[in-house]
Chain A
Amino acid sequence: MNVMQTDIVAKPASKHSIISSRYGFTAVIIVLLIITVLSAGAAVSFGQVEIPVSQSYRILLHQITGIQIGNVQDLTSGSFVDIIWKIRFPRVLMALFIGAGLTLCGTIMQAAVQNPLADPYILGISSGGSLGATFAILIGFGTMGILGQTGVAFWAFAGAVGASLLVLLLANAGGKMTSVKLVLAGMVINALCTAFANFIVYFANNAEGIKTVTFWTMGSLAASSWDKLPLIAVSVTLAAAFFLMQFRALNAMLLGDEAAVTLGISLGAYRRAYMILTALITGIMVASCGMIGFVGLIIPHLVRGLVGSDHRRLLPASILFGAIFLIWTDVIARTIVPNVELPIGIITALIGAPMFMYMLVKKGYAFGGKS
């Protein structure tokens, strides 16, 4: 212990002080913003039909602003425009917002339950959503006309929100809600919903349906389209704006209930409001793209390692980082195996896990500080 501490004193803090100065941090955010925009533009080039990146940028620029660079007539007449504008761009935007949203919800949940292991799905959302989706795919209205595809989304949302409300009720029962009770209630509801879902799968005589369920539980952005985007974009943007304004309460949360009260913030009401809001947003995201694991757990920790635990810095940086991360993992998911669309959850775990291990081992990550 003593050896470790003298080690820290000896280490110059120069690497971190660049990011911690006010202007340095603004610069970091601007760079992340630019990378996000460039990524969104570049990501539409990749897929089964490769489109040169320069053409992609020109097509997007023309479609969005009407500005013409070079001979736009050539570009707009080909099939590239349709591929980019109708298929890939809404999907990339979806990845951007889902990535930002999952990271946002993960960061908030970790603060709300004061537990570094929390992720957006901790309130039973994952298993509740899975149960809803499994029900809709294998028993419900999976093949019946109008209720078809919206059916799965609706039931997943209902399951996710229903499960999280149950968890909140359970954690509130018998007196004060504590973070330990919340985590335990989440686990109990998780186990219950998983059992029901497995029960349905076990007795289902429907191989295609079971494959759909599996695909759904690993998450995918394949079903993205322009008409699904507004709901996600608006709810994630509003939630992000709201939580960016809550940095003081979020910081106080990390100190614990008692210290927060002595700083003038009584956490009970804040925590409940944050959780309900996060559960709703996560439910909406789960309904449209299934369960994309790992993003909401890992990205907040990665960014904490870079900018610290202060939510004024942590939130904007992690939202942008999450967006960039999911845009590129989705590119990998749809290009790494030719003609096959991998569930994105596989890629997020395959990339996220080693990144996190590297941080733990090499950087001595200590949940927001240097140990």
Chain B
Amino acid sequence: MNLNVEHLAVSFSNVNIVKDVSLKVRNKQFVGLIGPNGCGKSTLLKSIYKVIKPKHGDVFLSDLDVIKASPKVVAQKLGVVGQFNELSFDFKVREMVAMGRTPHKGMLETDNKQDQDIVTGALRKVNLEGHAERSYNSLSGGEKQRVILARVLAQQPEFMILDEPTNHLDIKFQLQILNIVKKLDIGILAALHDLTLAAEYCDYLYVMKQGQVAASGKPEDILTKELIGQVFDVACETYRNPVTGALGFAYLETR
């Protein structure tokens, strides 16, 4: 499933947050979105997954016009791991994950054996089978994030958007979540804040600055010290990691 975003613009009370952004995710690509805080990454993603109404522009998931289609139809194809996942009311982990089945169900339909198997499978994928009966609010940040990921997996989406899915997580859980997502073999658009991880996992990168796409391309082609200096305002050198051979970044000092 391809994602096509064309000339998308979002503004709040006459301030343009996202200015005419176009981007593409081709079939089964893992595409990253990077940029400094406040550059409009989250707003762009939210307007793609229908939480914010864009001022103009189009969003297409293959043939589906995401902006015009009903939330339910979109949710059957598109899964979202968002940033804010605190609850004032508590659920069991299994109930939480089972809610991923919502877009595939009628209002009155109850979950059948197949749905339960999907939920169990999703919990297994994120290594939380043993936590099914635990309360969601009693989990740690990393576990919560994995529960949310399991809920999105239970949704069986054909495309997934992740908004800084590894925020505040230990490195082990960061890698775990990205590995699970990478293995899904569906199209992914993810906002990431760690350049090393972005370079390692993404097939293609869009770099945003002040609401616009400043650069796009394969990680090794575009993540140069000039670009990082210009976009993130940080002096740095890039190098090949002697252990893994992957792209590495040495930050020198803020200007």
Contacts and interface: CB of A to CB of B under 8 A. Distances in A.
A17 B88 contact: no
- Chain B CB within 10 Å, residue with most, of A245, A262, A265, A312: A262
Contacts of A369: 90-92, 135-138
Contacts of B76: 264
Nearest to A267: B71
A257 B84 CA distance: 11
B84 A261 contact: no
A252 interface: yes
A245 B110 contact: no
Contacts of A252: 99, 102
Which bracket fits the contact residues of B? 35 or more
Contacts of B55: none
Given A261-B71, A262-B49, A367 B80 contact: no
Contacts of A115: 88
A309 B133 contact: no
A14 B140 CA distance: 23
Contacts of A255: 87, 99
B161 to A, nearest CB: 9
B157 to A, nearest CB: 10
Interface in B63-82: 70-76, 78-80, 82
A16 B95 CA distance: 14
Contacts of B107: 245-246, 248-249
Contacts of B140: 5
Contacts of B50: 261-262, 266
Nearest to A258: B51
Nearest to B155: A263
B142 interface: no
Given A255-B87, A262-B82, A309-B89, A371 B137 contact: yes
A369 B131 CA distance: 13
B218 interface: no
B74 A264 contact: yes
A116 B89 contact: yes
B71 A13 contact: no
A256 interface: yes
Contact of A258 (B74, B84, B90, B155): B84
A310 B136 CA distance: 13
Contacts of B95: 251, 308-310
A109 to B, nearest CB: 13
Contacts of B84: 256, 258
B252 interface: no
B82 A266 contact: no
A234 interface: no
Given A8-B138, A16-B133, A261-B50, A368 B91 contact: yes
A261 B107 CA distance: 15
Contact of A310 (B46, B80, B91, B133): B91
B89 A368 contact: yes
A251 B99 contact: yes
Interface string B182-213: 00000000000000000000000000000000
A33 to B, nearest CB: 20
A208 B138 CA distance: 54
A309 B110 CA distance: 16
B92 A308 contact: yes
A304 interface: yes
Interface string A235-260: 00000000001101101101111110
B72 A264 contact: yes
B140 to A, nearest CB: 8
A72 interface: no
A366 B50 CA distance: 32
A39 interface: no
Given A13-B133, A258-B51, A266-B71, 5 more contacts: A16-B133, A263-B75, A264-B74, A266-B50, A308-B91
Interface of A: 5, 8, 13, 16-17, 20, 110-111, 114-116, 245-246, 248-249, 251-252, 254-259, 261-266, 304, 308-310, 312, 366-371
13 contacts: A116-B88, A249-B107, A254-B88, A255-B87, A258-B82, A264-B72, A266-B71, A309-B90, A366-B138, A367-B89, A367-B137, A369-B92, A370-B135
Lowest 9 CB-CB distances: which A-B pairs, in order? Answer: A369-B135, A369-B90, A264-B75, A264-B72, A264-B103, A368-B90, A262-B80, A263-B102, A254-B89
